[in-house]
Structure 1
Amino acid sequence: MTDQIGDPAVRAFIDALNAGDRAAFHACLTPDATMSDDGTERDLGEWTEREIFSSQGHLDVEKADDDGRAFVANYANSTWGAMRTRWKFTVRDGKVARFETGQA
């Protein structure tokens, strides 16, 4: 349901994540992008490699708000299986500057 995602930076983030495309994923982030998982700050590079790319992460948006900058999604990867998650994005200059995720 990425048609609910109006923000192009967030849509690019989701598309790159689902395609497993590291280059496209990193291209949609600001150079100083940050993130947190369940309220804990994480190293973005380590977390995305472990939770997304090396574990075949996939995101299916369920319900979006704030032009797609906040949503609930079903997230699955080969490490943890499927879970319902929440995501919130800060976009700056057309790129994702920060995202926060965690179980919903």
Structure 2
Amino acid sequence: MTDPQLPDAIRAFVDATNTGDSDAFVAAFTADAYLNDWGREFHGHEGVRSWDSTDNIGVHSHFDVVSLAPGEGPDEHVVTLTVTGDGYNGTGPMRFTLRDGRIARLTIS
């Protein structure tokens, strides 16, 4: 499937993961970002970087976008991704809340 027109911050999240650019990955998030991965919580750039090193770029994840749908609010988006790599492999939704052109909240479930 051709990637849908993703908001810039989500596109940066996907592209940084796929190119293994941890600094660009963290830069896609607000300084006070909140990331929840199946109940595990990470806060701010430090938390995002930690998650990235153990669950994302650190395990060579690759994202293929399956679909994009609106979330419940005006800056919320649900992106279904297929993830492959040396960690989690599968397809599922990620819920993004954007603020000021960056990811303020990410929930993976």
Which of 87, 105, 109 is the matching residue for 1:98? 105
* 2:16 equivalent in structure 1: 16
SS in 1 for 2:68: strand
Please, what TM-score do these two structures have when normalized by structure 1? 0.83
Instruction: Note if contact 2:6-2:68 (Cα within 8 Å) is conserved in structure 1.
Output: no
Please, what TM-score do these two structures have when normalized by structure 2? 0.80
SS in 1 for 2:3: helix
Which of 80, 83, 92 is the matching residue for 2:90? 83
* 2:36 equivalent in structure 1: 36
Q: CA deviation at 1:7?
A: 0.9
What 5-or-longer segments of structure 2 have no aligned partner?
Answer: none
Of structures 1 and 2, the one with the larger relative CO (CA 8 A, separation 6+) is 1
Paired letter, 1:87: M
Instruction: Note if contact 2:61-2:84 (Cα within 8 Å) is conserved in structure 1.
Output: yes
Aligned residues: 101
Percentage of matched positions with identical amino acids: 32
SS in 1 for 2:56: helix
What 5-or-longer segments of structure 1 have no aligned partner?
Answer: none
Paired letter, 2:19: A
